[in-house]
Structure 1
Amino acid sequence: MPKTARKRKTPITNIPSASTSSCKPESTRAVIRRFHVLLKRQAQLKKLVVHDLAQRTELANVEGEIEELGLENYQKMSAIGQRSDRGGGSEKILIRWLKDKEMHKTERKLKLLEVGALKPDNYDDCSTWIEATPMDLNSRHPSILEQDFLLLDEEMNREKWDLISLSLVLNFVPEPPDRGRMLRLSNIFLVEDGHLFVALPLPCLANSRYLDFDLFTSLMTFLGFTELQRRWRKDGKMVYYLFQKKTDVKTPSRERLVVPERFTKKITLRQGNRNNFSILL
């Protein structure tokens, strides 16, 4: 009896080109999620001393899929997800919050470092009061500085910025300690009373095994930030924060403070079907 030909499964990377405007939200999210998973697994495998063939083969397969999927394709999908017909970019929320504080009436322009910028003109409408520096690991435009935030010179950027935006950036960083270091550096780079904008996928806090809203707020307080604004919906996809840098002169330098264990080790806060997102110091 002749065998029935099996239908070949379509790989996750076989997704319609992001250059068209017809990409469905499901396809966009699939690319973004898969890219994050691959980067995380790549970082895990690279940390191991790879002796056996199975681990070497897995690392090669992961890196091959990352190359096939492509950072540029990921960025295109992310840019599509930020179009006005998909809810718009998070910069609109930041701008609204800053205007609520009447910061658009300042005597000098506010220096903004926009980390993970996919477009160079997100803040063009605010050019009279915001001097934006868009930056990304893999620049897609001559006006976007190609730079790893974690490799910025600490002394050159100390108290240099009035505003820092980390919109969908922390969740892109593969390792939890590097996410914590990114927040530490943000505090160092901001002027006193400077503002940090953070946007995360809601499941990072609402459905994580190791991180919830209270722990995240406690961690930010320890780093020297005061929460000013928070926005999310129970049935939404994102959570947005606005923090302000506040130095307590009565407290010793944070470099000399003992970091509480709850910020240095993964501690299970929830059971069940959860994700593993965490931030460690």
Structure 2
Amino acid sequence: MPKAKKRKAPITNNFIADPSSSKPQASRTLIRRFHVLLKKKTQLEQLLSEGADSKRPNPGLAEAKLSLNEVEHEIEELGGLEAYQRMSSIGQGNDRGGGSEKYLISWLKEIKVHEICQREKRRHLLLEVGALKPDNYRSCTSWIDATPMDLKSRHPDILEQDFLALDQSEHRARWDTISLSLVLNFVPEASDRGRMLRCAHNMLKDGGYLFLALPLPCVENSRYLTFEHLQLLMNSIGFNELKSRWKQGGKMVYYLYEKTSPVQTETDFSKKRVLRAGNRNNFVVLLRD
């Protein structure tokens, strides 16, 4: 009788990062691995869901269930979403350059938003999606009214909420600015990333602003996304780029967009299209109905 094939142990068993570690490499390793696992978990759950709806027998479902259990176990070993949040929070420390909110605040001041608010005696309504700290905008409370939100709140003042599950009619044209800092790249499905951007457009007031921060390789080294393609995609949703910041060899890219009317384009954003050859990552944003 042939021996049963031994399953490979999760590769993270060799380098599980200590969530309390503040080493940049440990943080990046944990975050990258968590992204891979979450995407695989979503794919397996979708496969099992489709299999359950089918009347045809599918011997691959048992294997998929086993794989899903292994993925969920590895996620648990890594500390789950809470560990990811801790690593990201460490990365926002002043010793690492501070959080991305400093760029948003600076840009809003450059376009005189603070002066407009003071003149009109009102505060700028900002929805901060993926907030790891409750007080990122405490220095601007005289003119910014920030609502921090995250999938799993780490503080009583952070609203625990899935952005994609927000009531669209309730939030339509409600916000002056929406911040998606290191959020879009954490969404497992490419079509949900597109849906997130469309939801943000719907929730912003006319002339409102979207702040988008991504790891630079998502745009600079993707097989399916380039700077030019991202610009066309954002224009098609109805976002006009006002500001951008990144540097060659850097880790992040930051954008500030203004909500406008969607621009018609001949580019099909509903399907993947290889834009660069070579050894690239697979990050992509898809727009589907």
TM-score if structure 2 supplies the norm length?
0.87
Contact preservation (8 Å) 2:178, 2:210: yes
Matched, 1:75 2:74: no
Query: What is the aligned length?
Result: 262
Secondary structure at 1:33's aligned position in 2? helix
Deviation by residue 1:52-83 (Cα, 9 ceiling, x = unmatched) = 23322211111111122211111000000111
Equivalence for 1:183: 197
Secondary structure at 1:89's aligned position in 2? coil
Partner Cα separation in structure 2 for residue 260 and residue 182 of structure 1? 22
Counterpart residue identity of residue 165, structure 1: S
Secondary structure at 1:28's aligned position in 2? helix
Identity of aligned residues (%): 58
Matched, 1:87 2:89: no
Matched, 1:130 2:144: yes
Partner Cα separation in structure 1 for residue 164 and residue 105 of structure 2? 25
Compared CA separation, residues 24 and 225, structure 1 to 2 (3 A): same
Q: CA deviation at 1:10?
A: 6.8
Partner Cα separation in structure 2 for residue 86 and residue 43 of structure 1? 32
Q: CA deviation at 1:13?
A: 6.1
1:11 pairs, out of 10, 13, 24, with 13
2:240 pairs, out of 220, 223, 226, with 226
Counterpart residue identity of residue 276, structure 1: N
Q: CA deviation at 1:38?
A: 0.4
Equivalence for 2:63: 54
Q: CA deviation at 1:260?
A: 5.1
| 1:91-102 equivalences in 2 (<5 Å) | 91-102=101-112
Secondary structure at 2:172's aligned position in 1? coil
Greater helix fraction, Structure 1 or Structure 2: 2
Deviation by residue 1:25-44 (Cα, 9 ceiling, x = unmatched) = 00010011011110011111
Partner Cα separation in structure 1 for residue 251 and residue 109 of structure 2? 24
Secondary structure at 1:31's aligned position in 2? helix
Secondary structure at 1:23's aligned position in 2? coil
TM-score if structure 1 supplies the norm length?
0.89
Equivalence for 2:32: 33
Counterpart residue identity of residue 85, structure 1: D
Contact preservation (8 Å) 2:191, 2:285: yes
2:274 pairs, out of 268, 276, 281, with 268
Long gaps (5+) in structure 1? 1-8, 252-256
Partner Cα separation in structure 1 for residue 176 and residue 113 of structure 2? 11
Compared CA separation, residues 14 and 130, structure 1 to 2 (3 A): same
Q: CA deviation at 1:216?
A: 0.5
Secondary structure at 2:148's aligned position in 1? strand
Q: CA deviation at 1:206?
A: 0.4
Contact preservation (8 Å) 1:192, 1:247: no
| 1:124-273 equivalences in 2 (<5 Å) | 124-247=138-261, 262-273=268-279
Contact preservation (8 Å) 2:108, 2:114: yes
Counterpart residue identity of residue 168, structure 2: E
Partner Cα separation in structure 2 for residue 206 and residue 273 of structure 1? 12
Equivalence for 1:5: none
Instruction: Find runs of 4+ consecutive structure 1 residues off by over 4 angstroms.
Output: none
Long gaps (5+) in structure 2? 1-10, 52-58
Deviation by residue 1:147-183 (Cα, 9 ceiling, x = unmatched) = 0000100110000000000000000000000000000
